[in-house]
Structure formats: structure tokens, C-alpha cells
Amino acid sequence: MNTQSKAINLADKLATFDDHWQPRTVATFNGHDIMVVKVKGEFVWHHHDDTDDLFLVLSGRIRIELRDRNIELGPGELFVVPRGVEHRPVAVEEAHVMLIEPTGTPNTGDADTAARRQVI
């Protein structure tokens, strides 16, 4: 992938699309996809049996709802949802987020409903 040979500007990548909850892969790292995504509204409750789930907010605010509490994240803040833990990301206003997951991880925790992998 040619993105691997140069600097990757996350804001420039985010400027190339407008849809929500459709992550774009901007680089790969040790078998993982580094992704950016625009989010707004409520995602589905889900979990990943085999991977932790890293969220780093780039702009805006998100709330990661867990079954026992909520995690509020603003720009420059990150949270790792441990594997197996049910969670639901929510954004009242549009927010921009960097995600890291093993390549091929379904974003909904379910291959049937997951967004397709898009490399930009």
C-alpha cells in the first residue's frame, strides 16, 4: 500500500469522505489496521471476543457506553475497550476518531453486519 511510504495526515484522510461509522484504513501495523472514522449518533452494542478495541478521539466528543459505566472522550483522549467487553460508541455531534484493530475485525463484532474494509 503506498500510504506506507509517506507521512499520513489524518485530517486529510478524513476530508475524503462524509459517511458515518464507515472506517477507512490509512495504514497497517503489525497485522492491525490503523483507521479513521467519522461518527455521529448511536452505534450498536457489540463486543470483540479476540481483540481489544482502541479509540483515540481526534476532534469532537464521543461516549463509549459500557454495561456498568460510560467513558467520555474528547480530543487527544483514548480508551481501550478490553476484549470481550460489550460497548456502544455514541456521538451527539459528529466526531472524528482513530481506531486500531486487527485487520479483518468486523466493526460491529459480527461479519454479517460489519462495514466493508476500505483502504484509502
Residues that bind a copy of itself in the complex, under the rule CB under 8 A: 4, 6-11, 26-30, 32, 34, 51-52, 54, 56, 58, 71-73, 76-80, 82, 98, 100, 102
Separation of alpha carbons 32 and 39, rounded Å: 21
Nearest-approach distance from CB 72 to a copy of itself, in angstroms: 6
CB neighbour burial string for 57-74, b if at least 16 within 10 angstroms, e if fewer: bbebbbebbeeeeebebe
- Classify residue 11 by burial, with Cβ atoms within 10 Å: 0-12, 13-18, 19+: exposed
Q: How far is the CB of 88 from a copy of itself (least distance, A)?
A: 16
- On whether the CB atoms of residues 101 and 48 are closer than 8 A, the answer is yes
Give the nearer residue to a copy of itself in terms of CB position, either 68 or 112.
68
- The least distance separating a copy of itself from the CB of residue 55, rounded to whole angstroms, comes to 10
C-beta closer to a copy of itself: residue 103 or 112: 103
